[in-house]
Amino acid sequence: MLLSLVIFAILAAQITQDNYFSLAKSEILMRKIGHELLLNAGDSTSRVLPVTKLHAAKYRIQFENPFKFEPDTLVRIISKTLARHETSDYIVNVLDCSNNAVVYGYAMAADKKNDVLSCLGREQVSACYLVTVEFGNVPFGIKKYAAAVSLLAFVGLCPFVVVGYRRRKSVASQIPKASDRLTAMGKLLFDKDNKQLITPTETLKLTAKETRLLDIFAQNPNQIIDRARLQKEIWEDDGIIVGRSLDVFISKLRKKLESDTQVQLVNIHGKGYRLQIEAVKI
């Protein structure tokens, strides 16, 4: 993790440095476009005004004096100037200074079939123009580091993935496995045939009546079992009349179920009892 953080910091600093360089280079390229447009119009003395950055990837080129241009020449100059730019996707618009109306515009894409060019060969009259160049959505300096950043993110997350997997495996290994003759109750296993309650740490012995009582609950998890039914099936069928015996055995079973807090014998007042089993959280 520490190594990942160090590498990430180095990459972040490098990306930031590259961003500054790319942005500065982009502004210089915009001025070069303006310079070439004026030279082609026969103007070698008037100024290209400061380039305005409209947002992260859009620039506006302004000129001191009016000039005229041919769309073919405009496309050629910009295409040649931006040949080595970070992205080959861009949109160019030429605006009338007086009303910001689009006089001419076109789009270029890395996938040439998506290029949009029109009105070539139609010379535009001399006027005050603004030229805007908007690049694609890939941030400067980020694209070439995308693979490294993705790999770093994966490496950084690996320890958490491994630890999480080991933790789930460790917890799962503590939960007893059920078989055909065993009944799972949360993290506990009920072995009716051998009169046993198996916990993650020990095996508890059950009496015959505890076994019969727990068997009824295990077959009807999360359901209310009437007191009358429990008394009849466990005691009265044997010809024995009981008073508080049921409550005594319920108390004993509760103590043996204590190792799993997700398994509880709940008293439903005036009705009976319910074996409440919550889902095991892994």
pLDDT in tens, the chain (282 residues): 666 666 656 655 554 444 545 667 888 889 999 999 999 999 999 999 999 988 878 899 999 999 999 898 999 999 888 886 666 788 999 999 989 898 888 888 776 655 556 666 677 889 999 999 998 754 444 445 545 545 555 555 555 545 555 655 554 455 555 555 688 888 889 898 999 999 888 999 999 889 989 999 989 999 999 988 888 888 766 656 556 778 888 898 999 998 888 888 898 888 889 998 886 554
Q: Distances from the Cα of 60 to the Cαs of 33, 50, 57, 134, in angstroms?
A: 11, 9, 10, 9
Pairing of strands 188-191, 124-127: unpaired
- What is the C-alpha to C-alpha distance for residues 13 and 19, in angstroms, rounded to an integer? 10
Q: What pairs with residue 107 in β-bridges?
A: 91, 116
The model carries a pTM of 0.43
Q: What amino acid occupies position 4?
A: S
Domains annotated on the chain, with CATH? 2-135 (no CATH), 182-277 (1.10.10.10)
Structure tokens at 196: 């046993």
What three-state secondary structure class fits 186? coil
Q: Distances from the Cα of 130 to the Cαs of 30, 34, 55, 72, in angstroms?
A: 12, 10, 16, 17
For residue 250, the Cα-to-chain-centroid distance in whole angstroms is 49
Computed on alpha carbons and rounded to an integer, the radius of gyration of the chain in Å comes to 40
